[in-house]
Amino acid sequence: MDGVKVFVADDVSESGLEPLRAAGFQIEKRTGLKGDALFEAVRDADALIVRSETKVTAELMDAARRLRAIGRAGVGVDNIDVPAATARGIVVMNAPDGNTMTTAEHTFALLLALARRIPQAHASLKAGRWERKKFVGTELRGKTLGIIGLGRIGRVVASRAQGFEMKVIAYDPFVSPEQARELDIELLPLEAVFERADFLTIHTPLTPETRGLIGAQAFARMKKGVRIINCARGGLIDEQALYEAIRSGKVAGAALDVFSEEPPPPDHPLLALEEVVVTPHLGASTREAQESVAVIVAEQLRDYFLTGSVRGAVNMPAVSAQELHTLQPYLALAEALGRFQAQLTDEPVREVRLEYAGEVAELNTGAVTRAFLAGLLRNVSARVNVVNSLLIAEERGIAVTTSQRRSAAEDLPALRASVVTVSGGHAVAADLFGPRNEGRITEIDGFRIEVIPAGHMLVLHNRDVPGVIGKVGTCLGARQINISRFHLGRRERGGEAMAVIETDGPVSDETLNALRAIDEVISVRYIELDS
């Protein structure tokens, strides 16, 4: 696809980008750019691929006016302002499985390096010394490994530790005791893990809750001589507190792959300590892992641009290509219905109620809801789309509720959307018909109708008396407006009637006022669904 431009800002595996090249995307890779040079480089990009180095801020996204997707070739998205991306309708995708093994292996390499003081012994011998007494280590067998964060990497580290006959204990508030038992891991409260661990390794994401999780209070609870490994994120450990715990002899050693500031300043106090082993954020740096994360992200981005399928997104629910095939007609119908509803009223929307029935109720209605809201809120922001429509609704205080009726026995429409405003609102139903799944609006405010949700149309309410259709036709004809279809609906004879009049072209305000001037006409709304 020639039109899609992908800017690669960090050192991402070249061969891993092949799926994008093969699909004809234009790839520009320039690493290490900062400030204005980076802002300029992303100006025309439709997609951006990064690792952990490039900080993807709201300002950078604003500079990239066409940006629709950010791919993180790796796990941590803490260098990306995800809320800002969501607000701008930009999908953020990562590759959480691509570097798990490699990072767990690096964690274990650090753990062994700490236990046997390999980097120190190596440096000593290379410096010409033969210090066998100085580098007496500690055996892993029978020691307790405490793991904080029992996710993908934490679990692989646990299994490696069990291979070394270590006892594994863990804290993770999102893992059930049953899951832990299956893995032969004792799940404990955080404090108990601090108190019992001989080695402590952390594998959580960096969030406001986990920042500084291992600080002075935690060190105070730990065993004297504990060894700490951090191969997750720098901010998880309070570095000053760690420095003091090492100096006081409480912590025997620490192995760090990550730092609160990267690269750490050369005079960082921890770098000066003999007990500290460091690597420059190499956890994911194997050829295998780099190729794997790049391929995963490249394929996800390719499919998003080519088919609209969503995989590996952190700010949107997944929609597979297969699911999309069945879902697509409903998404199109919901989006059109949202735009139709938006034009039925000038009042701010307070509430949206979506009722799904039959086939669609069995599908991913979350995606259909987002499509409806994207249509409804289209005029709120030029960048409203399925990524941010729910958020925009929430920000505007619109309560969104949905219900699903799986049985089609009651002959309910596939989709009924009620939009509530201060003075009432409207309820519109729609369905798909025929072998080609063509969308039709089947009901407006209780009036049965069958209208294709496309093109130009008038929704006209009038008193149900003879001659109105003629007057409306004459009014439009006098202004050279051709009627392509005329649909009538009424609840009871002589009451209020409704007409949906499809026209070949747009209808001006002057025409609308002329229609409103017809005695029997109660209200007229002009709706345009093509643009």
Ligand X SMILES: NC(=O)c1ccc[n+]([C@@H]2O[C@H](COP(=O)([O-])OP(=O)(O)OC[C@H]3O[C@@H](n4cnc5c(N)ncnc54)[C@H](O)[C@@H]3O)[C@@H](O)[C@H]2O)c1
* Residue 231 interacts with, from ligand X, ligand 3PG, none (CB under 5-8 Å by kind): ligand X
Q: Rule CB under 6 A: is residue 258 a binding residue for ligand X?
A: yes
In the numeric block, which tokens belong to residue 217?
Answer: 């209070």
> Closer CB to ligand X, residue 55 or residue 461?
55
* Residue 16 interacts with, from ligand X, ligand 3PG, none (CB under 5-8 Å by kind): none
> Closer CB to ligand 3PG, residue 76 or residue 358?
76
Spatial CA neighbour of 192 closest among 242, 146, 142: 146
Spatial CA neighbour of 151 closest among 197, 82, 210: 210
Give the residue closest to ligand X by C-beta: 151
Pairing state of beta strands 26-29 and 5-8?
A: parallel
Whether residue 281 lies in the annotated active site? yes
Q: How far is the CB of 262 from ligand 3PG (least distance, A)?
A: 9
- Which segment (42-50, 53-61, 201-209, 332-340) binds ligand X by CB under 6 A? 201-209
Spatial CA neighbour of 520 closest among 484, 483, 479, 468: 468
Q: Rule CB under 6 A: is residue 245 a binding residue for ligand X?
A: no
Spatial CA neighbour of 386 closest among 90, 62, 63, 65: 90
User: Following DSSP, what letter does each residue of 266-286 receive, concatenated?
Assistant: TT-GGGG-TTEEE-SS-TT-S
In the numeric block, which tokens belong to residue 488?
Answer: 């009538």
> Closer CB to ligand X, residue 262 or residue 359?
262
**φ and ψ at residue 128, rounded to 5 degrees:** 95, 10
Q: Rule CB under 6 A: is residue 148 a binding residue for ligand X?
A: yes
Binding-site string for ligand X from residue 96 to residue 135, where x marks contact by CB under 6 A and - marks none: x--xx--x--------------------------------
Neighbouring-strand partners of residue 463: 496
Which one of 70, 284, 429, 501 is in contact with ligand X (CB under 6 A)?
284
Alpha helices for 209-252 (secondary structure H)? 216-221, 239-247
Residues that bind ligand 3PG (CB under 6 A): 51-52, 74-76, 99, 281, 283-285
Rounded CA separation 126/44 (Å): 51
C-alpha torsion angle, residues 203, 207, 211, 217 (rounded to 10): -80
Q: How many residues form the binding site for ligand X (CB under 6 A)?
A: 32
> Closer CB to ligand X, residue 232 or residue 472?
232
Alpha helices for 136-201 (secondary structure H)? 152-163, 177-182, 190-196
> Closer CB to ligand 3PG, residue 50 or residue 334?
50
Q: Rule CB under 6 A: is residue 172 a binding residue for ligand X?
A: yes
Per annotation, catalytic residue among 281, 339, 378, 487: 281
Per annotation, catalytic residue among 51, 233, 339, 456: 233
Whether residue 233 lies in the annotated active site? yes
Q: How far is the CB of 238 from ligand X (least distance, A)?
A: 15
> Checking phi first, is residue 424 left (phi over 0); if not, alpha (psi -120 to 50) or beta?
left
Rounded CA separation 32/492 (Å): 71
Report the catalytic residues. Answer: 233, 262, 281
The binding site for ligand X (CB under 6 A) comprises 75-76, 96, 99-100, 103, 148-154, 171-175, 203-206, 209-210, 231-233, 257-258, 281, 283-284
